[in-house]
Amino acid sequence: MKNLKRLSLAAFMMMAGATAMTAQEEVETTICADVVNQYIWRGTKCGEASFQPTLGIGYKGLSLTAWGSTEISNFGGSKEFDLTLAYSTGGLNIGVTDYWFDGGDTKYFKYGAHSTAHIFEANIGYDFGPLAIQWFTNFAGSDYKGNGDRAYSSYVELSAPFKLGGLDWNAAVGAVPFEDAGLYGACDKFAITNVTLKATKDVKITDSFSLPVFAQVTGNPHDQKAYFVCGFTLIP
């Protein structure tokens, strides 16, 4: 009986160990950082040359990601810190993002309805392969119209990846579907705010290290602005 108990205990420990190893193997982590000549987001300029780190962890489609942006030329300038909780299965993805913008005297742990520097956004999208669609809507935080009503500022984007001339390309068109709170340039009705073409290439530095380099051209028909962005990604 003692031998049977020992065998049962050993089998249980082996199964538990195997389960833990399998779970650990399925956990995915991300750590990287972009360096860009200017910070352009959904067709809107949000900063000058910036350092933008990413730290993330994922398990079976569920992920938690931290992302930030700090101006390189002006460390007292615009800063941003975002947290995103997301889930994806097949081509479907959903998520919630907490955006925080540091204006110098803003407090991170201040969540007053009309005094917070946070914006909370929900998104849903589907990747069909040759074409993907994403919808984003702010549902809480600092997102109000001039009359004090919540704006529910939203943004929808279509994107299509393709390969051409040895580069990885992505074409995207984004629009604000209705009046927003000024986040996308104070749109008072439907407006196309982002037309972007981006190219990426891994530049081989050594046999074991490559540097992803990218460049993009972005136009904002609503604001009558155009931007050229270039940068690279640091991946350990």
16 inside domain: no
d(CA 188, CA 87): 32
pLDDT tens, position by position, 116-162: 999 999 999 999 999 999 999 999 999 999 888 999 999 999 999 99
More confident call, 24 vs 204: 204
202 inside domain: yes
Range with lowest mean pLDDT among 8-22, 113-127, 134-148, 204-218? 8-22
Range with lowest mean pLDDT among 43-47, 86-90, 103-107, 202-206? 103-107
22 inside domain: no
What is the average pLDDT score of the chain? 89
What is the domain-level CATH number for residue 206?
2.40.160.40
Select from 195, 194, 196, 176 the least CA-distant residue to 186. Answer: 176
Specify burial of residue 215 (Cβ count, 10 A radius: 0-12, 13-18, 19+): middle
14 inside domain: no
20 inside domain: no
- Label residue 5 by pLDDT band (50, 70, 90): very low
More confident call, 169 vs 107: 169
DSSP 198-229: EEEEEEEEETTEEEEEEEEEEEETTTTEEEEE
Predicted confidence at residue 83, as pLDDT, reads 98
3 inside domain: no
5 inside domain: no
Domain span at residue 112 reads 31-234
174 inside domain: yes
- Label residue 20 by pLDDT band (50, 70, 90): very low
Predicted confidence at residue 4, as pLDDT, reads 37
Cβ atoms within 10 Å, residue 15 = 10
Q: How many domains does the chain have?
A: 1
Predicted confidence at residue 10, as pLDDT, reads 46
d(CA 93, CA 87): 6
pTM of structure:
0.86
